[in-house]
C-alpha cells in the first residue's frame, strides 16, 4: 500500500498551526481517522467508495468545491492522536496517504461469517460413474438428468459432484481448510473403489459470507446514489445487488440489515468488501 509521503500543499498548510500546538507531532499520523460513515455525496461521488479511494491515493483530493468527504470536519472527535488539540474549523486534513477507505477510527466491528466454499480438484483419471454410484455410500447418479455422481459426506458436511473426466466440484464447506479436507475425503473414497485417484490443482473457486449490520437500510436511497453498482428491483428480488469493483465482490443487501457477500477467491476479499460497504450502509440507515 503506497504511503503518500509527499503531502499535497493544501493540508500541509494546516500542519503548521497544529504543529505549533503539538510540538513535533505529525498531523498526518496514520492514526488520524478520517471519514467515518459519511454518506458519499452524489455530486462528487459518482464512483464507489473504492474508486474514490483510488482517486485520493493519487492525490486528487481537495478540489475546490469538494468537501473532503472522507474527512472529519471536527478535530475534536479525533481521539487517536495524542496531544491533539481541538479547534480548528478548517477541514481536517489528512488527506489521503493513509490506508484508503477504512476509517481508521473504527472498523465495523463485525466480521462476516463464511457460509459456503466451492472448490474444484482434478482426480487425474477417468472414472466409471456407475461403479461409483453402486458401490459408494450416499451417492446419487441419474445420467438422464445430470452427468455426474452427487456424493455427500457428513464431516465436513459437504456435497461433491464427481464427473467421469475425473474432475470434481466440492461445495458446502464453511472454511478453506474444510473444503480441502472434504475434497481429499472424496478422493479417498474414489481411490478405495479402485481408481488411481490423485489430487491435482485443488482450487477454491468461490466463497460466500454473510453478516448483519444490525440496523435497517434504505435500499431505495442506496440505489439512487450508487446506481452504477446497484441493481434493486423489489418486485423481482427483495435484496439490492451491489457489484463492488474493488474487490470484485457481489453483495446482496437487504432492508433488514443482513448482507450476503459472494464472488471471493480468498477470505480477505469478503472482509475487505464488507469494510468498504459498511460506512456506506451506515449512511443509509433507516431512522424511522
Partner 1 sequence: MAYQLYRNTTLGNSLQESLDELIQGSLNTYRFCDNVWTFVLNDVEFREVTDLVKVDKVKIVACDGKNTGSNAPE
Binding site for partner 1 (CB under 8 A): 116, 118, 130, 133-134, 137-146, 148, 150, 152, 154, 157, 159, 161, 169, 171-172
Q: Which is nearer to partner 1, 140 or 220 (CB)?
A: 140
Q: Smallest gap, in angstroms, from Cβ of residue 160 to partner 1?
A: 8
Under a CB-based contact definition with an 8 Å cutoff, are residues 284 and 234 in contact? no
Q: Which of 279, 287, 283 is nearest to 221 (CA)?
A: 283
Q: Which of 12, 103, 97 is nearest to 57 (CA)?
A: 97
Q: Smallest gap, in angstroms, from Cβ of residue 129 to partner 1?
A: 9
Q: Residue 258 forms beta bridges with which residues?
A: 212
d(CA 143, CA 131): 13
Q: Smallest gap, in angstroms, from Cβ of residue 267 to partner 1?
A: 20
CA 94 vs CA 28, 60, 86, 100, 171: distances in Å: 6, 13, 15, 11, 45
Q: Which is nearer to partner 1, 138 or 175 (CB)?
A: 138
Q: Which of 88, 87, 54, 86 is nearest to 70 (CA)?
A: 54
Q: Which is nearer to partner 1, 138 or 227 (CB)?
A: 138
Q: Which is nearer to partner 1, 135 or 286 (CB)?
A: 135
Q: Smallest gap, in angstroms, from Cβ of residue 46 to partner 1?
A: 34
Q: Which is nearer to partner 1, 150 or 252 (CB)?
A: 150
Q: Smallest gap, in angstroms, from Cβ of residue 148 to partner 1?
A: 7
Q: What is the Cβ-side half-sphere exposure of residue 242, based on CA atoms within 13 angstroms? A: 30
d(CA 109, CA 190): 43
Q: Smallest gap, in angstroms, from Cβ of residue 133 to partner 1?
A: 4
Q: Which is nearer to partner 1, 3 or 142 (CB)?
A: 142
Q: Please give the grid coordinates belonging to residue 65.
A: 468545491
Amino acid at each position: 500500500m503506497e504511503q503518500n509521503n509527499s503531502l499535497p500543499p493544501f493540508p500541509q498548510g494546516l500542519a503548521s498551526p497544529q504543529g505549533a500546538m503539538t510540538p513535533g507531532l505529525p498531523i498526518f499520523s496514520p492514526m488520524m481517522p478520517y471519514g467515518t460513515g459519511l454518506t458519499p455525496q452524489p455530486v462528487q461521488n459518482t464512483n464507489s467508495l473504492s474508486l474514490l479511494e483510488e482517486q485520493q491515493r493519487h492525490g486528487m483530493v481537495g478540489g475546490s468545491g469538494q468537501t473532503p468527504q472522507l474527512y472529519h470536519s471536527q478535530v475534536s472527535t479525533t481521539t487517536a492522536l495524542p496531544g491533539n488539540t481541538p479547534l480548528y474549523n478548517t477541514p481536517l486534513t489528512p488527506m489521503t496517504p493513509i490506508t484508503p477507505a477504512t476509517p481508521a477510527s473504527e472498523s465495523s466491528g463485525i466480521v462476516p461469517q463464511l457460509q459456503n466454499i466451492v472448490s474444484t480438484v482434478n482426480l487425474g483419471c477417468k472414472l466409471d460413474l456407475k461403479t461409483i454410484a453402486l458401490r459408494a455410500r450416499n451417492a446419487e447418479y441419474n445420467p438422464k438428468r445430470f452427468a455426474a455422481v452427487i456424493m455427500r459426506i457428513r464431516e465436513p458436511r459437504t456435497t461433491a459432484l464427481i464427473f467421469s473426466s475425473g474432475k470434481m466440484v466440492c461445495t458446502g464447506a464453511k472454511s478453506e481448510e474444510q473444503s480441502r479436507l472434504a475434497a481429499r475425503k472424496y478422493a479417498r473414497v474414489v481411490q478405495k473403489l479402485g481408481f488411481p485417484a490423485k489430487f491435482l490443482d485443488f482450487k477454491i473457486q468461490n466463497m460466500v459470507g454473510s453478516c448483519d449490520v444490525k440496523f435497517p437500510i434504505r435500499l431505495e436511497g442506496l440505489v439512487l446514489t450508487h446506481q452504477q453498482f446497484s441493481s434493486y428491483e423489489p418486485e423481482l428480488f427483495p435484496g439490492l445487488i451491489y457489484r463492488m469493483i474493488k474487490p470484485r465482490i457481489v453483495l446482496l443487501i437487504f432492508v433488514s440489515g443482513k448482507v450476503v457477500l459472494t464472488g471471493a477467491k480468498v477470505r480477505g476479499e469478503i472482509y475487505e468488501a464488507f469494510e468498504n460497504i459498511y460506512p456506506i450502509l451506515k449512511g443509509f440507515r433507516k431512522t424511522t
